[in-house]
Amino acid sequence: MRALLQRVSEASVSVDGQIIGEIGPGLLILVCAMQGDGDEAATALATKISKLRIFRDEAGKMNRSVTDAGGSVLVVSQFTLAADTSRGNRPGFSTAAPPAEGERLYLHFAEALRDLGLPVETGEFGADMKVSLVNDGPVTIWMDSDA
């Protein structure tokens, strides 16, 4: 699985002009299931993210996890993270998991974060979503379960 994490002061996702998920301080996670990914990859990535120390401690150092900081998580599916730009000018997405499997793994990933005690909001898989955020730092981190 691939994930793009953004430490945020606030974030929201809307569909058809209606906010369907929003958080205060925490993480916006754009996530994409790749071909060959399974439940283990989704769970492992969720666990790693929950422990990633990218929030400021009392001294201003990035030394606290989203869990330690009492933050929330907004998970939004984004198959375009599978983009292959190695040929031509139009990205290919053939390495993304098929839609049904992608949705299943996306939901499993969000549930794995909940199981770790994090408050989680989500977008709507496959919908035309509008995402708003205030990036804190800015801090943006790319993660891949294969790495």
**Average pLDDT for residues 60-75, to the nearest whole number?**
97
Residues designated catalytic: 78-80
Parallel, antiparallel or unpaired: strands 2-15 and 72-77:
unpaired
User: What was the pLDDT predicted at 145?
Assistant: 84
Domain that holds residue 108: 2-144
Number of domains present in the structure of the chain: 1
CATH code: domain of residue 106: 3.50.80.10
Q: The whole model's pTM is what?
A: 0.95
